[in-house]
Amino acid sequence: MLVLGLETSCDETAVGIVDEKRKIRANIVATQFEAHRPYGGVVPEIAARAHLDKIDDCVRAALKEADTNLDSIDAIAATCGPGLIGGVMVGAMTAKAIAAAKNKPFIAVNHLEAHALTARLTHDVAFPYLLLLVSGGHCQILLAKGVGDFQKLGGTIDDAVGECFDKSAKLLGLGYPGGPLIERAAQGGNENAFKLPKPLVGREGCDFSFSGLKTALRQIVEDSENLAAPDLAASLQKTIAEILADRVANALKMIDTKPTALVVGGGVASNQKIRANLAALAAKNNLPFVAPPPALCTDNGVMIAWAGLEHFRLGQTDPLTFRARPRWPL
C-beta closer to ligand KG4: residue 2 or 245: 245
Q: Which of 81, 86, 154, 162 binds ligand KG4 (CB under 6 A)?
A: 162
Please report, as residue ranges, which positions from 137 to 156 form the binding site for ligand KG4 (by CB under 6 A).
137
Provide, rounded to whole angstroms, the least separation between the CB of residue 37 and ligand KG4.
Answer: 13
CA 323 to chain centre: 22
Cis? peptide before 177, omega within 30° of 0: yes
Provide, rounded to whole angstroms, the least separation between the CB of residue 1 and ligand KG4.
Answer: 26
Provide, rounded to whole angstroms, the least separation between the CB of residue 10 and ligand KG4.
Answer: 5
Residue type for 211, please?
Answer: S
Residue type for 306, please?
Answer: W
Contact pattern from residue 280 through residue 309 relative to ligand KG4, giving x for each residue in contact according to CB under 6 A and a dash for the rest: ------------------xx----------
Measured CA to CA, the distance from residue 117 to residue 185 in angstroms comes to: 31
Neighbour-count burial for 300-328, b at 16+ CB within 10 Å, e otherwise: bbbbbbbbbbbbbeeeebbeeebebeeeb
Measured CA to CA, the distance from residue 167 to residue 126 in angstroms comes to: 36
Closest CA to 198 of 287, 135, 277: 277
Q: Which of 159, 166, 207, 246 binds ligand KG4 (CB under 6 A)?
A: 166
C-beta closer to ligand KG4: residue 159 or 318: 159
Do 320 and 106 form a contact (C-beta atoms < 8 A)?
yes
Residue type for 105, please?
Answer: P
Backbone angles phi and psi of 315, in degrees to 5: 80, 15
Measured CA to CA, the distance from residue 182 to residue 326 in angstroms comes to: 28
C-beta closer to Zn ion: residue 235 or 270: 270
Three-state SS at 82: coil
Is position 32 an interface residue for ligand KG4 (rule: CB under 6 A)? no
The total of other beta-carbon atoms located within 10 Å of residue 33's CB is 12
Closest CA to 307 of 95, 162, 160: 95
Binding piece for ligand KG4, criterion CB under 6 A, among 48-56, 177-185, 202-210, 302-310: 177-185
Provide, rounded to whole angstroms, the least separation between the CB of residue 75 and ligand KG4.
Answer: 23
C-beta closer to Zn ion: residue 84 or 200: 84
User: Any bridge partners for residue 110, and if so which?
Assistant: 81
Three-state SS at 255: coil
**Which stretches of the chain bind Zn ion, using CB under 5 A?**
135, 299
Provide, rounded to whole angstroms, the least separation between the CB of residue 20 and ligand KG4.
Answer: 25
Q: Which helix (H) or strand (E) holds 29?
A: strand 24-31
Is position 271 an interface residue for ligand KG4 (rule: CB under 6 A)? yes
Provide, rounded to whole angstroms, the least separation between the CB of residue 327 and ligand KG4.
Answer: 14
Is position 178 an interface residue for ligand KG4 (rule: CB under 6 A)? yes
Q: Which of 10, 15, 58, 117 binds ligand KG4 (CB under 6 A)?
A: 10
Q: Which of 87, 179, 189, 199 binds ligand KG4 (CB under 6 A)?
A: 179
C-beta closer to ligand KG4: residue 2 or 119: 119
Is position 310 an interface residue for ligand KG4 (rule: CB under 6 A)? no
Which positions touch ligand KG4 (CB under 6 A)? 10, 135-137, 162, 165-166, 177-180, 183, 266-268, 270-271, 298-299
